[in-house]
Structure 1
Amino acid sequence: MSEKVTRNRTHLLGGFLGGLTSAVALQPLDLLKTRIQQQKTNTLWSVFKSFDSPSQLWRGTLPSALRTSIGSALYLTSLNVMRTTLVKQKSWNHQSQLVTNKSSLLPHLSVYENLLTGAFARGVVGFITMPITVIKVRYESTLYNYKSINDSIKDIYKTDHIKGFFRGLLPTIIRDAPYAGIYVLLYEKAKEITPSLVPLKLLNDRNNGHFSSTTSTLINSSSAILAASLATTITAPFDTIKTRMQLQPNLFPSFLKAGMIIIQKENLRQLFSGLSMRLSRKAMSAGIAWGIYEELIKIT
């Protein structure tokens, strides 16, 4: 088996395990965000009171885990392929440029290259995983009384055929592509700055010049949380519009119309509904997923 195939499998595995772990652990936050966004009158407290047992907080875990694990695996692998290819094209002696800093083995690129590769990779993967996303959102909401994932698939196809599985595609791409681009840009910058904020006693280099596993995980996870928090806040309105279009396609048939209805009939602040839940989930998800991913590609 070639080194290239082995390396890609490592990135696939790292992305899959990181995505799966974060999806299962943080599903309650994703569920709460969907319930809050589905209509103006929903508040965090009212949503909490609607649950009969704590286990209901994990409703929709299967489609969420599938979407996040598969999506993370494809995204991180394709992102690494693009970034590594760019580095190779920029210099024959690319091996010396493959490491960004002492906490990471990922390729070193410019600000614009990080922005564009992150956005492009996430946009493509967002399109591929769109059907799972629609199923997940429908299954999490209270607007559809689905008994199983199979019921949701049948109902979506019966109502809207194939196009039903791609409802909210535009706001999803507009949300995910900029989010990923901004995230990768901020993440790489944060990894350069964070070591200066870490106590000197934790900066224990290994013989190969890299930080210890504990220090690397601390730096990478902290950088991921910071980057995800900022990127999530910036792209929050697109997430609200996407959720409304997927849950109530007749009321919110298009991206522009959905945005105008929310602003005119509700208020501008409503575009940021569920932000606290999404912010918490995305920040912790990034910290978990990227922390696992960065360390796994070092040891395999």
Structure 2
Amino acid sequence: MSKSNVDLKASSNKQHLYSAFLVGGISSVALQPLDLLKTRKQQQGSSKDIFNIKNIKITELWKGTLPSFLRTAIGSALYLTTLNRMRVFISAIENKEQNYIETYNKSSNLPKISHWGNLASGSIARSVIGFFLMPLTVIKTRFESTVYNYKSLDEAIKHIYKENKVKGFFKGFGSTLLRDSPYAGIYLVNYEFCKNFLNKHTLKEQSDFIVNSSSAIIAASVSSTLTAPFDTIRVRIQLEPNLNKNLFTTCANIVKNESFSKLFDGLSLRLIRKSLAAGIAWGVYEELIK
């Protein structure tokens, strides 16, 4: 293997870290209104007035932007950097006799690995990073709701700790794990499949950004739909932890006292938010690391 190939294989971790932080931060700020409306639609006892944009001040649509920015920017940086290292490792195992350049898609500088490799690397990386970012996830969700009216991060941290001590910052981790781990694995499999398909069936002069962004949008839409119930359950637990004790009782209560369809509350908003975020983030991210 030539030196240039070695350099490509060991692409700078800082490059992935900074690129992911940048695109994650930009998408979180730009799409925060969708996250806020989704959270309010999912909260218990929500009504049309709660998430009707006509009844919300424009500035209020960006409530919770700081914890959202920190969670998404830091999370994207850590997740995509960890994911890349895992995929490079898996690629080396799966393609021992192949030149490293040959393991890449035409529109991408990311390693091409098997579907099982993508499923495993995406799920594991998202689960590990998700655990460390749970406190920010809890704070972000509470900021976005109408249940709490925090004025600062410091106030939110003190209140959550007073209410449930350290475990309060990890409320809803089970449902978050069941949402994020499958989401990341399914997303990555679909993303790579779509990239391969579009690279084979689109014009050669087709923009790499268009191919990658389109693949990201499709992958995010599929993954978001399949994991939607766990997102609703997560929101309920994090907003009212004393009422919603765990994943199973919360799910049962929603189905019994409301309806099964309530598990998919906010899906349309989540689809828009996730697909746009993925299209922007992965399209720009792939360009930045080239």
Shift of 1:251: 1.2
CA contact (8 A) 2:49 2:55 kept: no
* Residue of structure 2 in register with 1:254 after alignment: 246
Shift of 1:34: 0.4
CA contact (8 A) 2:16 2:80 kept: yes
Asked if 1:266 corresponds to 2:258, the answer is: yes
Look up the SS of the partner of 2:69 in the other structure.
helix
Shift of 1:44: 7.3
81, 98, 101: which one pairs with 1:96? 101
Asked if 1:82 corresponds to 2:74, the answer is: no
- In the alignment of these two chains, the number of paired residues is 283
* Residue of structure 2 in register with 1:17 after alignment: 22
- Structure 1 gaps, min length 5: 205-210
- What is the one-letter code of the residue matched to 2:286? E
* Residue of structure 1 in register with 2:235 after alignment: 243
Q: Which aligned pairs between 1:45-56 and structure 2 lie closer than 5 A?
A: 46-51=51-56, 53-56=57-60
CA distance in 1, matches of 2:192, 2:278: 13
15, 26, 29: which one pairs with 2:31? 26
Asked if 1:277 corresponds to 2:269, the answer is: yes
Look up the SS of the partner of 1:235 in the other structure.
helix
1:218-260 deviations in Å (ceiling 9; x for gaps): 0000000000000000000000000000001111110100000
CA distance in 1, matches of 2:37, 2:11: 39
* Residue of structure 2 in register with 1:207 after alignment: none
- How has the CA–CA distance of structure 1 residues 157 and 57 changed in structure 2, closer, same or farther, with 3 Å as cutoff? same
CA distance in 2, matches of 1:5, 1:140: 40
RMSD: 1.7
- How has the CA–CA distance of structure 1 residues 44 and 269 changed in structure 2, closer, same or farther, with 3 Å as cutoff? farther
Shift of 1:112: 0.9
* Residue of structure 2 in register with 1:222 after alignment: 214
164, 172, 176: which one pairs with 2:176? 172
- How has the CA–CA distance of structure 1 residues 164 and 26 changed in structure 2, closer, same or farther, with 3 Å as cutoff? same
Shift of 1:196: 4.6
Shift of 1:42: 2.3
Q: Which aligned pairs between 1:106-145 and structure 2 lie closer than 5 A?
A: 106-145=110-149
Shift of 1:96: 3.3
Shift of 1:271: 0.1
CA contact (8 A) 1:83 1:107 kept: yes
CA distance in 1, matches of 2:103, 2:169: 39
CA contact (8 A) 2:106 2:199 kept: no
Give aligned-pair identity as a percent. 51
CA distance in 1, matches of 2:258, 2:126: 31
Shift of 1:48: 1.9
TM-score normalised to structure 2 length: 0.93
Asked if 1:43 corresponds to 2:48, the answer is: yes
CA distance in 1, matches of 2:197, 2:47: 40
CA contact (8 A) 1:40 1:266 kept: no
